[in-house]
């Protein structure tokens, strides 16, 4: 792909009116993460949800779903928030915001696979953050959830080119990022960064989106977050949380640049039992599938 | 209401998901620490069921009591019984298909053999021979190998070796075998009974070798791929270390060693083995020893 075509695609992203608009509740939710969970103001959260009819309806539906096993019907946002609980509240709110971004029929990838991968990556990112002692595990979760948002941009804005890239990835069993580079000359990382700027997303998350495939290096202050999500992404792809096709990838974790960086910055990672960690991460695959099934109202696999 | 208050309220109402059963966690951890066998949460019903069977045999009423017994210093024999239940391998062709996919789509294409050399594979502890023939069949289907491969199938039990050498299997053992491969590599010799074709058999050598016994093992050297599935967790730590050492020694540099998905060799790095992740499967790859290694 010539530079001219690539530049034309970038210009299209910058100028197009069809760029997904930021969900009104997403940025306030992302800013919530700047505070520790025990300082979140529950009244503000309830107000935030109440102002967004779609989000309010989703919360009520989820709180009344079999996932939470309540015998009585939940009818208020406050009760729904209590039912969902702290452990899941933020996760589900961001999911509701993001999953409505694009109608399923506009997705070129299987949306269930995409969100299972994103949720899996979010859960594993948080787990890794906790293991290494990274100070903002919930931020790592957000990074995991949003890291591939550029695929949505490519899917919505360049359906023909993205379809060709996806076909190449599927038939050659290579990574999507390689196929995008080959076919389009612009990866989902670059497209995602443009969206992140368009949405005025926090810089650390924007760098996760741009740098998680190591196409460009993150700035030192955000490198740890980027590497955590990069590693989680890799681990998802080898744990059945992929994009619905077989990627012929083999991962030697301890030789991966993200692992090497994290071991240097967080020496306690050296002591982690990799075999056990690998088994434990399997549990997240089923959890991610359960969340996505609940949100999309499909049967849990 | 802040988050702490909300947590308390939610907890009081019992709204968080069920917590992991501490006794099952303890059993799982004891098993892992002593044998390298790790049971992921998704398989806990099987773990619980196996524990219950052992509890019944021992007359133990609670899982808590059983987990305490298992964790005691003298529990070696009981661990063996439990592992026997958990890893009692069902025998059929194409077990653990994700490992086989990784072998077919990633490992074999990566071998890049010299034209004059054939791929060499070993199956240790062959059971009925299903794993050995499965491996041979996958290698036979690899166009790039063009029939240049050999599988060495080893076991310490002469009776098992003889049975595997015959290559006769009940239809049930072939239930997971793709129909076109069944048609190509098996012949029906009686109702519900199939025999491996001579053309495939010529690629296998069955040999008497022990990974765990006192006699020196006679494993072939220079292997590209080794399957040793459903064995090492049942060995004691000393035997396991020795077995993994022997397997690693017989592997080529950059060769791959597959254990069953729940097993781990514990201390693989001592034998220059590195854990490699494939889509939904893992294996160990032998890395060259450092230059100053002695």
pLDDT band at B198 (very low <50, low <70, confident <90, very high): very high
Q: Would the pLDDT of A52 be above 80?
A: no
Q: Would the pLDDT of A236 be above 70?
A: yes
Reported pTM? 0.85
Q: Which residues of B touch A276 (CB under 8 A)?
A: 32, 38
CA dist., res. B269 & res. A158, Å (int): 46
Q: At what angle do helices A53-63 and A274-296 cross, to 10 degrees?
A: 110
Q: Which of A233, A246, A214, A244 lies closest to A281, judged by CA?
A: A233
Mean pLDDT, rounded, of chain A: 84
Pick the CATH number of B19-87 from 1.10.10.10, 3.40.50.620, 1.10.155.10, 3.20.10.10: 1.10.155.10
Nearest CA of chain B to the CA of A42: how many Å? 5
> All domains of chain A, ordered by start, with CATH?
21-100 (no CATH), 103-296 (1.10.3210.10)
Q: Which residue has the tokens 């080794």?
A: B226
Nearest CA of chain B to the CA of A247: how many Å? 7
Ranked by mean pLDDT, the top range of A38-42, A97-101, A193-197, A263-267 is A263-267
ipTM above 0.85, yes or no: no
Candidate from A3-17, A145-159, B49-63 with smallest mean pLDDT? A3-17
Class of domain B97-286: alpha beta
Annotated domain spans of chain B:
19-87, 97-286
- Long-range (24+ apart) CB contacts under 8 A made by B282-285 are B282/A278, B283/B99, B283/B102, B283/B107, B283/B256, B283/B257, B283/B258, B283/B259, B284/B256, B284/B257, B284/B258, B284/B259, B285/A252, B285/B254, B285/B255, B285/B256, B285/B257
CA dist., res. A162 & res. A176, Å (int): 10
Q: Would the pLDDT of B87 be above 90?
A: no
Answer whether A63's CB lies under 8 Å from A33's CB.
Answer: no
Q: Would the pLDDT of B69 be above 80?
A: yes
pLDDT band at B20 (very low <50, low <70, confident <90, very high): low
Residue A50 or residue B9, greater confidence: A50
Rg (CA), chain B: 22
End-to-end CA distance of chain B: 65
The answer to whether A71 contacts chain B (CB < 8 Å) is no
pLDDT band at B213 (very low <50, low <70, confident <90, very high): low
Instruction: For an interface test with B, give the residue of A35, A231, A250, A300 to mutate (most B CBs within 10 A).
Output: A250
Residues of B with CB under 8 A from a CB of A: 1-7, 9-10, 13, 15-16, 32, 36, 38, 40-42, 101-102, 105-107, 109-110, 262, 264, 274-280, 282, 285
Q: At what angle do helices B76-87 and B22-35 cross, to 10 degrees?
A: 100
Q: Which of A186, A222, A180 lies closest to A202, judged by CA?
A: A222
| pLDDT at residue A223 in the model | 98
Mean pLDDT, rounded, of chain B: 84
CA dist., res. A192 & res. A183, Å (int): 17
CA dist., res. A69 & res. A62, Å (int): 10
């Amino acid at each position: 792909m010539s530079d001219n075509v690539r530049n034309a695609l970038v210009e299209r992203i910058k100028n197009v009116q069809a760029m997904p608009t930021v969900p009104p509740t997403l940025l306030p939710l992302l800013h919530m993460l700047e505070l520790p969970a025990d300082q979140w103001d529950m009244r503000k959260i309830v107000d935030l949800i109440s102002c967004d009819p779609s989000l309010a309806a989703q919360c009520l539906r989820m709180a009344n779903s079999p996932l939470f096993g309540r015998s009585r019907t939940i009818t208020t946002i406050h009760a729904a928030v209590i039912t969902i609980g702290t452990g899941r509240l933020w996760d589900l709110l961001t999911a509701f915001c993001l999953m409505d971004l694009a109608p399923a029929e506009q997705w070129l990838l299987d949306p269930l696979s995409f969100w299972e991968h994103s949720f899996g990556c979010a859960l594993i990112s948080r787990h890794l953050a906790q293991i290494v002692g990274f100070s903002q595990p919930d931020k790592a979760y957000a990074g995991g959830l949003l890291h591939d948002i550029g695929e949505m941009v490519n899917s919505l804005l360049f359906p023909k080119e993205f379809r060709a890239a996806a076909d190449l990835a599927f038939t050659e069993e290579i990574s999507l990022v390689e196929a995008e580079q080959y076919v389009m000359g612009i990866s989902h990382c670059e497209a995602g960064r443009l969206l992140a700027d368009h949405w005025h997303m926090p810089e650390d998350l924007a760098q996760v989106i741009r740098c998680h495939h190591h196409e460009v290096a993150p700035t030192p202050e955000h490198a740890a977050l980027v590497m955590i999500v990069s590693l989680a992404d890799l681990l998802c792809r080898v744990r059945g949380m992929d994009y619905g096709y077989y990627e012929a990838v083999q991962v030697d974790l301890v030789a991966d640049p993200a692992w090497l960086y994290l071991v240097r910055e967080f020496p306690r990672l050296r002591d982690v039992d990799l075999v056990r960690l690998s088994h434990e991460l399997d549990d997240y695959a089923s959890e991610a599938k359960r969340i996505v099934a609940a949100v999309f109202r499909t049967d849990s696999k | 209401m802040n988050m702490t208050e909300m947590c308390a309220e939610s907890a009081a109402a019992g709204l968080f998901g069920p917590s992991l059963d501490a006794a099952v966690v303890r059993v799982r951890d004891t098993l892992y620490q002593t044998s390298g066998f790790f049971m992921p949460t998704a398989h806990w019903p099987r773990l619980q069921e196996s524990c219950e069977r052992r509890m019944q045999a021992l007359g133990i009423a609670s899982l808590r009591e059983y987990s305490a017994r298992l964790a005691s210093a003298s529990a070696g024999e009981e661990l063996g019984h439990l592992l026997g239940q958990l890893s009692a391998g069902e025998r059929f062709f194409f077990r653990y298909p994700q490992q086989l996919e990784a072998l077919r789509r990633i490992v074999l294409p990566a071998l890049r053999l010299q034209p004059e050399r054939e791929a060499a594979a070993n199956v240790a502890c062959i059971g009925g021979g299903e794993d050995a023939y499965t491996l041979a069949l996958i290698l036979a289907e690899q166009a790039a190998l063009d029939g240049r491969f050999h599988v060495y199938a080893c076991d310490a039990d002469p009776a098992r070796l003889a049975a595997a050498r015959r290559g006769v299997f009940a239809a049930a053992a072939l239930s997971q075998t793709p129909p076109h491969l069944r048609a190509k590599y098996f012949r029906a010799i009686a109702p519900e009974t199939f025999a491996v074709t001579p053309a495939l058999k010529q690629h296998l050598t069955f040999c008497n070798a022990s990974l765990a016994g006192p006699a020196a093992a006679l494993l072939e050297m220079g292997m590209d791929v080794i399957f040793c599935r459903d064995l090492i967790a049942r060995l004691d730590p000393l035997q396991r270390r020795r077995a993994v050492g022997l397997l690693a020694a017989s592997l080529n540099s950059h060769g791959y060693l597959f254990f069953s998905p729940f097993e781990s060799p514990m201390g693989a790095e001592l034998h220059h083995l590195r854990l490699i992740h494939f889509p939904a499967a893992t294996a160990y790859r032998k890395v060259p020893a450092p230059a100053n290694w002695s």
